[in-house]
């Protein structure tokens, strides 16, 4: 039997007093600290608007201190054996698993995400650490590439101190996704969590410290993107930036890091299509379409926010989908029966509901939702928009909420054209029982990740990332190490091959 609403509230009640009393803190060189300026801001819960804790409003001074701490710790951490890093990172994973309930409850209160998803996200964070821990001993392995005159060897070395900037949706899991491979590779990290959901970044840093990660290897600097985030991306001691967030912000980070020739890895926005052909298993396609837009409050980069439905089955499929959307349970995120909780905050709520009027003005039909929930802001009804034309704003802009835009198509060629006719290219979902069609469509789709007859099922050894405005680079497996490490070539002469004798 799982945990009840009362169990989750009791856990939260045991955590909140310490958060309210102590606030969030920066962690620099293994020491907790305030911002140098002593400035703070109040972090509020989207559930009821109550204050959770004060958070340091860090500046360039604090980022510089964290960067110096990461630089000071780098050589020692770089030289720790892969086997020892594996042991330490497994200890981090064990501690995350032990504290998964606390992490999940805090994340629910901080983000509004339902506990049914956050409990799994916390455990996925532990799995991220376990996966990359096991890869740590071989992270530097290279290749042997003999030539007629040389034995050529390659190896990899960690790039150095790196910056990690994470978003407010599922922040704990996404932080581990970036930080675990960086630590496994031998890099040190300065982590700037999103200002809207800062709580679990401190929990992760404390877990890592207690599990044996040395001081300065993982540093946390809180603050706003335009202040602390900008300083991190411009800092000369930081060799690379891994960022998850909006495409527009990714563009700004690239500009800010240009003067220092900073390596960047971006996992950005999406307007992902789920394409349902008439020969698909429609029951399973319906389940997947509902799950991939309405889970996690629709606040996920890989959500299937555009439904491309073949005209011959559109009326019946959309009718069934609308009924499902109307039955989704909106409520308190700590209630295990809740399927959609409050959005992250009032400003994002205003953005999402503004698209309902845009949809009406553009001529779309609202088959479900299209309004705030009776619980009030920032709760919103799961929404289904039909009669959508590919040129409408609701079909082209990332809404980042529980809003699905349905577009009808007639032919395979139409589906591909519509799917690709956006600036994004993160993910795609194809539903068909025709294997050759699946091969044609997946080959033609402009997306970094495509699932056929499936929702998004993450497999850590596979590459995760997008094309076009959806990102640069890939996470997962060895692709993560390609970002956090530098390639090195060493050539050994096999004999006394002829060397040109200039000036002899």
Q: Which helix (H) or strand (E) holds 409?
A: strand 403-409
CA distance 206 to 210: 6
Q: Give the span between the Cα atoms of 294 and 283, in whole angstroms.
A: 17
Beta bridge partners of 77: none
The span from the CA of 472 to the CA of 333, in Å, is 33
CA distance 357 to 189: 43
301 flagged as catalytic? yes
> Active site residue: 227, 267, 398, 408, which one?
267
d(CA 288, CA 292): 6
SS (H, E, C) 219-277: EECCCCHHHHHHHHHHCCCCCEEEEECCHHHHHHHHHHCHHHCCEEEEECCCCCEEEEC
Instruction: Copy the structure tokens of residue 208.
Output: 């890592």
Note whether 225 and 251 are within 8 A (CB).
no
**Pair of tokens at residue 77:** 């951490």
- The residue from 301, 398, 408, 455 that is catalytic is 301
Tell me the CA distances in angstroms from 186 to 161, 201, 217, one per residue in order. 9, 20, 9
Where are any strands of DSSP class E within 77-136?
none
Which are the catalytic amino acids?
Answer: 267, 301
């Amino acid at each position: 039997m799982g945990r009840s609403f009362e169990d989750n509230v009791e856990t939260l009640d045991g955590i909140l007093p310490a958060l309210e009393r102590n606030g969030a803190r920066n962690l620099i060189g293994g020491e907790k600290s305030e911002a140098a300026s002593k400035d703070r801001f109040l972090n509020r819960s989207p559930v009821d608007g109550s204050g959770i804790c004060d958070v340091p409003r860090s500046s360039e001074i604090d980022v510089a201190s964290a960067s110096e701490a990461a630089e000071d710790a780098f050589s020692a951490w770089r030289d720790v054996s892969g086997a020892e890093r594996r042991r330490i990172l497994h200890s981090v994973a064990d501690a995350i698993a032990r504290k998964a309930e606390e992490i999940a409850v805090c994340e629910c209160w901080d983000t509004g995400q339902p506990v049914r998803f956050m409990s799994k996200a916390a455990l996925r964070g532990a799995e991220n650490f376990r996966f990359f821990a096991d890869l740590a001993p071989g992270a530097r392995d290279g290749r042997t590439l003999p030539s007629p005159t040389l034995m050529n060897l390659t190896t990899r070395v960690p790039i150095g101190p790196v910056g990690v900037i994470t978003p407010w949706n599922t922040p704990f899991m996404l932080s581990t996704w970036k930080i675990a491979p960086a630590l496994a590779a031998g890099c040190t990290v300065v982590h700037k969590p999103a200002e809207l959901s800062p709580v679990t970044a401190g929990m992760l840093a404390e877990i890592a410290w207690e599990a044996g990660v040395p001081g300065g290897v993982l540093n946390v600097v809180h603050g706003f993107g335009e202040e602390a985030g900008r300083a991190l991306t411009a800092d000369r001691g930081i060799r690379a930036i891994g960022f998850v967030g909006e495409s527009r912000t990714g563009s700004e980070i690239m500009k800010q890091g240009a003067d220092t020739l900073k390596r960047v890895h971006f996992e950005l926005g999406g307007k992902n299509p789920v394409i349902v052909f008439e020969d698909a298993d429609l029951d399973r396609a319906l389940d997947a379409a509902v799950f991939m837009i309405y889970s996690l409050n629709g606040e996920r980069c890989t959500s299937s926010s555009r439904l491309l439905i073949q005209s011959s089955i559109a009326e019946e499929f959309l009718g069934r989908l609308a009924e499902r959307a109307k039955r989704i349970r909106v409520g308190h995120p700590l209630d295990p029966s809740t399927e959609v909780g409050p959005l992250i905050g009032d400003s994002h709520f205003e953005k999402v509901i503004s698209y309902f009027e845009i949809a009406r003005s553009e001529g779309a039909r609202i088959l479900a939702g299209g309004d705030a929930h009776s619980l009030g802001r920032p709760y919103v009804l799961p929404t289904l928009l039909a009669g959508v034309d590919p040129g409408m704003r609701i079909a082209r802009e990332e809404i980042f909420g529980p809003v699905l835009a349905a577009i009808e198509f007639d032919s395979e060629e139409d589906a591909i054209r519509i799917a690709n006719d956006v600036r994004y290219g993160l993910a795609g979902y194809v539903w068909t029982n025709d294997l050759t069609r699946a091969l044609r469509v997946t080959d033609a789709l402009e997306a970094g990740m495509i699932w056929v007859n499936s929702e998004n099922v993450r497999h850590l050894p596979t590459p995760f990332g997008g094309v076009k405005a959806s990102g640069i680079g890939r996470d997962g497996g060895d692709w993560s190490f390609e970002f956090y490490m530098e390639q090195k070539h060493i050539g050994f002469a096999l004999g006394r091959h002829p060397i040109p004798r200039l000036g002899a």
